[in-house]
Amino acid sequence: MVGFFLRFSSFYINLFRLVILASYLPAVVYCANFSASFRDADIKEFINTVSKNINKTIIIDPKVQGVVSVRSFEQLDKDKYYQFFLNVLDVYGYTVVEMPNNILKVIPAKRAKNSVVPLQKNAEETQGDELINRVFKLKYILAKNLAPLLRQLNDNTESGSIIHYDPSNVVLITGRAAVVNRLYSIISTLDQPGDAEIELYQLNHAIAADIIKLVNQVINPVNTTKKDLFNAGKVIADERTNSVLISGDSHTRKRAIKIIKRLDHQQDSYGTTKVIYMKYAQASKLLDVLNGVSSGVQSDNAKKIAGKSNARNVSIKAYDQTNALVITAHPKIMKELDQVIEKLDVRRAQVLVEAIIVETQNGEGLNLGIQWANKFHGGVNFIQNPDSIRANSSSENPLPMVISGLTAGFYKGNWDGLFTALATNSNNNILATPSIVTLDNMEAEFNVGQEVPVLTSTQTTATDKVYNSISRQSVGVMLKVKPQINQGDSVLLEIRQEVSSVADRSDANANNLGSVFNKRVVNNAVLVKSGETVVVGGLLDKKLNKVINKVPFLGDIPLIGRLFQQRKEKIEKSNLILFIRPTILRETSDYSKATADKYTEHNNLYSIDIKEPLEVLSEKIKNDEFNSLKNDIVEFYEMIGVKK
């Protein structure tokens, strides 16, 4: 028993010594090596075995099937063992896609490019047959030009693909890491700056701006407007010195200069002739403007245009029969003249000018028994009795009104109703209602009257024969209007109105001095909005009328007939008032609307008996139009002044 105890104690003492000794020995690193030997093994068993050895979870696609026979005659470390695994799968048409969390996925190679393949940024990160994505940013060459070459150098497996993206000039390559890294080396070698330089070529005859368009189209048949052409040649014009800048490689520059030299030659001194037909403008009226423009263009381009003589050979003629311009000039000047003509030959707006010229007797012609209100927008009235203006415009029976002095204002109301109201009063004498359409800034004239013979001189011959010299003078109603359309819808109207007549014979021939003419003239300029009515009045006229009342037969007896007569002298006063309304016509729809309105106005005018009293007339007019007319007229009364 004692011997057994001693042997057991000796065993533990030796074991303790070995532990102490081992603590002083150097550490030895354990490294696992693998040998692969599979014969007619199911591919899934092969994958599962590798999964255990490399300590990774591997997901197998259901389409992965087959039998594997492979053998390794040397010991492989973990990295080489994994590459051996990838090579075997590649031979059988499968590939491995790395997933997060230490997971691998084995799928058919043809489906690999549609899977989530990891993006590698560094070429040294991955080697071998692992499937990766890499993006290459090109600096000097175009991606669309390099991509076809890379596809030819690719291994052409179903798992690989090469795609280029032009806006960013990048190439995206999907494939085995070894192939992708090899293509990267090729890209780095090819993506190098070329021998692009810039040369300056001074033109002697041609124009730089015209030359560059032709040359760029020849040396760059592709889209030359993109900014990412890199080594592609490009020609830029320097109009200040009439020279061109050429960039690109030596071959491109030589080719561009050769083309420029052929184009830079002396042109015919007679220039180019062109016939331009006017659409709206009058050709003869554009001559002064175009000649002035061509003179300025010639002086600016005299140093740039070849054969400086043909820079001054500019001829501009108008052919009235076809309303065309015939221009002979250098192409540079011709181009600028074309631009000027295009901006001048535009459709001008027109103005429809409507007017009512009315003469009121004794100031009562505008007493229509109704009142104007709420439609006036301002004006001025020069009256003799300011106290006669009534403050209360709501009276149902307004007193007779007398217009005295100059009246002017703006009225915005029913034009047809205004005319009808004026025509229904027997104290009004409507002299004319002109309606004229004229171009912007063109004078229009309306004239209704007679040519009256006027004795200008008398000569008596030696044989007592009398010879009279006679001239003719126009009398009647004349209206001249010149509209000018301003910014917006305002119109500046220059108005000249004249009403003239021949005086009574008793007054005219009192001293045998010839005829006497009564004339009332107003010259005015006013700014008015389109569709608004201007009211101008105050052209007063006094006339002495002699009235003889007599007893029939007895009043005609010589000498004593005056006893049976009653003679009276009556002074009649009349006031001439002009209502004028401009309407801007810009579009075709405006003309159609104006025509329809005039047609409706004509029908309404002849469908109403103007002799009917206003009470009957009001029943024929719609209530809203009649009430609006009443409000319109009363405000005009408030403005022009009243006499009781």
Give the DSSP letter string of 385-450: -GGGS-S----SSPPP----S-EEEEE-S-HHHHHHHHHT-TTEEEEE--EEEEETT--EEEEEEE
Within 8 A by CB and 6+ apart from 229, the residues are: 142, 220
Q: What pLDDT was estimated at residue 448?
A: 84
Q: What pLDDT was estimated at residue 325?
A: 92
> In sequence order, what are the beta bridge partners of 129?
none
Indicate if the pLDDT at residue 324 is higher than 90: yes
Q: What pLDDT was estimated at residue 387?
A: 38
- For the chain, state the CA radius of gyration: 53
Q: What pLDDT was estimated at residue 443?
A: 92
Least confident among 84-98, 138-152, 417-431? 417-431
Produce one character per residue of 142-154: b if its CB has 16 or more CB atoms within 10 Å, e if not: bbeebbeebbeeb
Indicate if the pLDDT at residue 108 is higher than 90: no
DSSP-based three-state secondary structure for 525: strand
Question: Per-residue confidence at 602, pLDDT binned at 50, 70, 90?
Answer: low
Mean pLDDT highest for which of 1-15, 275-289, 627-641? 275-289
Least confident among 67-81, 330-344, 473-487? 67-81
More confident residue, 8 or 77: 77
* Tens-digit pLDDT profile for residues 369-414: 333 433 444 443 333 333 333 333 333 333 233 333 334 556 565 6
Q: What pLDDT was estimated at residue 619?
A: 53
Indicate if the pLDDT at residue 101 is higher than 90: no
Within 8 A by CB and 6+ apart from 568, the residues are: 546, 547, 548, 549
> What is the C-alpha separation between 310 and 282, in angstroms, rounded?
28
Question: Per-residue confidence at 208, pLDDT binned at 50, 70, 90?
Answer: confident
Q: What pLDDT was estimated at residue 113?
A: 62
How far are the Cα atoms of 97, 373, 411, 533, 538 from residue 377, in angstroms, in the given order? 85, 10, 6, 10, 19
Q: Contact, 184 vs 136, CB < 8 A?
A: yes
* Tens-digit pLDDT profile for residues 241-285: 888 888 877 788 888 888 888 888 766 544 578 899 999 889 998
In the chain, what percentage of residues exceed pLDDT 70? 65
Q: What pLDDT was estimated at residue 358?
A: 85
What are the two backbone dihedrals, phi and then psi, of residue 132, each rounded to the nearest 5 degrees? Answer: -140, 170
* Tens-digit pLDDT profile for residues 413-437: 566 667 666 777 777 788 888 888 8
- As to burial, measured by CB atoms within 10 angstroms (0-12 exposed, 13-18 middle, 19+ buried), residue 245 is middle
> What is the C-alpha separation between 33 and 78, in angstroms, rounded?
7
What is the maximum alpha-carbon separation in the chain?
Answer: 203
> In sequence order, what are the beta bridge partners of 430?
358
Q: What pLDDT was estimated at residue 482?
A: 93
Within 8 A by CB and 6+ apart from 77, the residues are: 31, 32, 33, 34
> What is the C-alpha separation between 332 and 316, in angstroms, rounded?
15
> In sequence order, what are the beta bridge partners of 546?
569
Q: What pLDDT was estimated at residue 13?
A: 55
Question: What is the pTM for the complete model shown?
Answer: 0.46
Q: Name the one residue in this structure whose structure tokens are 């007939």.
A: 561
Mean predicted confidence (pLDDT) in 125-129: 62
More confident residue, 599 or 459: 459
Least confident among 185-189, 328-332, 565-569, 607-611? 607-611
Average pLDDT of the chain is: 71
More confident residue, 286 or 295: 286
Q: What pLDDT was estimated at residue 484?
A: 92
Q: Contact, 528 vs 534, CB < 8 A?
A: yes
Indicate if the pLDDT at residue 483 is higher than 90: yes
Q: Name the one residue in this structure whose structure tokens are 């009226």.
A: 285
> What is the C-alpha separation between 346 and 505, in angstroms, rounded?
55
How far are the Cα atoms of 76, 354, 416, 449, 501 from residue 433, in angstroms, in the given order? 115, 7, 11, 14, 18
* Tens-digit pLDDT profile for residues 571-590: 777 788 888 889 988 887 77
Question: Domains in the chain, start-ordered, CATH in brackets?
Answer: 31-116 (3.55.50.30), 197-263 (3.30.1370.120), 272-344 (3.30.1370.120), 352-448+478-545+573-640 (no CATH)
